[in-house]
Amino acid sequence: MKVLLFANTDWYLFNFRRSLALALRDAGYEVLLVSPAGPYGPRLTQMGLRWLPAPMKRRSLNPWRELALIFWLRRLLIEERVELVHGFTIKNAIYGSLAARLAGVQARINAVAGMGYVFSSDDLKARLLRPIVRALLRLALKGPDARLILQNPDDVELFRRTGLATPEGIRLILGSGVDCNRFSPVEQARERTSALKVLLPARLLWDKGIAEFVEAARQLKNTGRNIDFLLAGEPDKGNPAAVPEEQVAGWQHDGLLQWLGHVDDMPGLYRTVDLVVLPSYREGLPKGLIEACACGLPIITTDVPGCREVVANGENGLLIPIKAPGALADAIAMLDDNVDLRVHMGANARKKALAEFDERIILQQTLSVYSELLRRGRHHLKSSNEQ
């Protein structure tokens, strides 16, 4: 059985879906990874996976370019004799599903992690695109051989209520999972010999709460607290909500934060910090937070879809209102003052990661969706042959 995994960046495939690709390969599937070209494609190839670059520009609104991409995908699916297409994020879900239908590929899985720029932004362009994207989603996500994987109950309810997908086709799977062996706590709690270290790990997008993080840092530094604010991530230049690089460099120049850029060794970074924050506006299920859980770190995040699934308020972290830098500053100050509470929350975070987010659990649930669709496909083929 040949499956195609289609994402909008090779970075996404490498960081979020390489475990799935390897698990599929180990289960006997032939796996083809497709994304726009980038530095992570060759790294996937070095792991023994097959990856192809797609002629895709994430921010393109040129209808001829977009149609050409869909027909490029159709031709690829036919030539490769793909039997199942798995698309990630809204644009890839739409294009992958449309190409699959045109190529006669019945089995379609689409994973939508968060609602993306079109649904989360109030920009004029986003508002104009919204009805078009809704119509395309209904076309792409429906059908007896289509499954939609969502990462939190709020998104499940949204897709059901708006009719974007049929309830029987929706599956709830909590994120892409985390390797709890690789992401693990330090042997002993880090000794507090200097400043409290607070980390925000995320792509540098405004809707990740970057501005609120910076303002909280400003407020706390004005009170004289000894706190280091660390920002790990790079601007996502293909996203309209990207924070300009010069803006981040300016904050660093002003002494508000330390910008680490892209970090390869995230487990190592987590082991050097005291707590993780993500004041996001909305998520699917944030990878950075479940990694922090696995590393036994307390978390401060917003009480919004995706984030509230990771943090139980008062148990493994604190939930704060959206777009509230003052509340973020107060929560950081509370944990700065209470080491025992940080240790207690960190221990609970590790337990939650092992029980709910371990990638072995997530991979088993995802592979069961593959088996469900391919069993259905074989049954239909057998019935057709008998007739």
Residue 166 belongs to a domain? yes
Q: Rounded to two decimals, what is the model's pTM?
A: 0.88
CB 33 within 8 A of CB 2: no
- DSSP SS3 for 196: strand
Residue 14 belongs to a domain? yes
Amino acid at 27: A
Residue 182 belongs to a domain? no
Where do we find the tokens 């007739």? 387
Residue 186 belongs to a domain? no
User: In terms of domains, do 147 and 228 share one?
Assistant: no
User: In terms of domains, do 254 and 285 share one?
Assistant: yes
Model pLDDT for residues 161-213, shown as the tens digit of each residue: 888 888 889 999 999 999 999 999 986 655 656 799 999 999 999 999 999 99
User: In terms of domains, do 366 and 346 share one?
Assistant: no
User: In terms of domains, do 323 and 366 share one?
Assistant: no
Where do we find the tokens 């499956």? 3
Residue 86 belongs to a domain? yes
User: In terms of domains, do 9 and 71 share one?
Assistant: yes
User: In terms of domains, do 349 and 375 share one?
Assistant: no
CATH of the domain at 147: 3.40.50.2000
User: In terms of domains, do 113 and 123 share one?
Assistant: yes
CB 349 within 8 A of CB 292: yes
- The total of other beta-carbon atoms located within 10 Å of residue 171's CB is 17
Residue 183 belongs to a domain? no
Cα dihedral sign for 330, 336, 342, 346? positive
The kind and range of the H/E element at 323 are none
User: In terms of domains, do 168 and 20 share one?
Assistant: yes
Amino acid at 37: A
User: In terms of domains, do 129 and 264 share one?
Assistant: no
Domain count, the chain: 2
User: In terms of domains, do 286 and 215 share one?
Assistant: yes
User: In terms of domains, do 200 and 146 share one?
Assistant: no
Which residue range is the domain that position 70 belongs to?
2-177+359-386
Tokens representing 105?
A: 């590929």
Tokens representing 107?
A: 């089995």
User: In terms of domains, do 249 and 140 share one?
Assistant: no
- The total of other beta-carbon atoms located within 10 Å of residue 17's CB is 21
CB 310 within 8 A of CB 301: yes
Q: End-to-end CA distance of the chain: give it in Å, rounded.
A: 24
pLDDT tens series, the chain, 387 aa: 899 999 999 999 999 999 999 999 999 999 999 999 999 999 999 999 999 999 998 766 678 898 999 999 999 999 999 999 999 988 899 899 999 999 999 899 999 876 665 566 666 766 777 777 778 878 777 788 999 999 999 989 988 888 888 888 999 999 999 999 999 998 665 565 679 999 999 999 999 999 999 999 999 999 999 999 999 999 887 788 899 999 999 999 999 999 999 999 999 999 999 999 999 998 989 999 999 999 999 999 999 999 999 999 999 999 999 999 999 999 999 999 999 999 999 999 999 999 999 999 999 999 999 999 887 655 444 444 444
Residue 190 belongs to a domain? no
Nearest to 192 by CA among 253, 105, 275: 275
Residue 39 belongs to a domain? yes
Residue 382's pLDDT is 45
